[in-house]
Amino acid sequence: MTTGAGLRVDHAVTSGTFSLDGQTFDVDNNVWVVGDDESCVVIDAPHSVDGILEAVADRRVTAIVCTHAHDDHVRVAVALRDAVTAPILLHPAERPLWELTHPDFLWDVDLSDGLAVAVAGSSLTVLHTPGHSPGSVCLLASDLGCVFTGDTLFQGGPGATGRSFSDGDLIVESIRSRLLALPDETVVHTGHGDDTTIGAERAALG
């Protein structure tokens, strides 16, 4: 039985495309793997099962948590589920977006605000942060002093809200009420690009 003492974050970047509203863009996506030497949780499933499994190494995957259902975050979720036999977790408000990529499959477990996702003797707490998309979530790892923000908060500000299913006022409200409530030193692991901190983004948001 582990206690969360050996908990760590591993990281990979996979490359592919993001498509919505009839446009397609090249994108690099972060994959975050939280766990100890035995088991882990994968956060987001973009582009490449092999790329994700390199970060997993030989550990048991206990959950595939999707921060939201844009295709660049869920494209290989079903293939990864088949490869590692772990459930896919997603907020149910993402269903319209999910079905654009996976019309023939559903995810396994609904995420909801406050839910604790078990990981290697610790847990990730779900923060429902709508705006980038209706069911966007952030995952707070209190034991590690970090939060995984998907496309809700990047280094330099809020995620994009110019496309379908997005709401610019709502993302700012989500960031202010849920993320800026965290301590300044909290490390922010984003869905694309570099890390930041809550303190740095609080200052930038003014």
* Binding region for Zn ion (CB under 5 A): 70, 151
The answer to whether the CB of 201 falls within 8 A of the CB of 176 is no
Give 36 or 71: the residue with its C-beta nearer to Zn ion: 71
DSSP string of 51-103, one letter each residue? HHHHHHTTPEEEEEE-S---HHHHTTHHHHHHHH---EEE-GGGHHHHHHH-T
Nearer CB in complex with Zn ion: 25/79: 25
β-pairing, 153-154 vs 157-158, is: antiparallel
Question: Taking the CB of residue 20, how many other CB atoms lie within 10 A of it?
Answer: 19
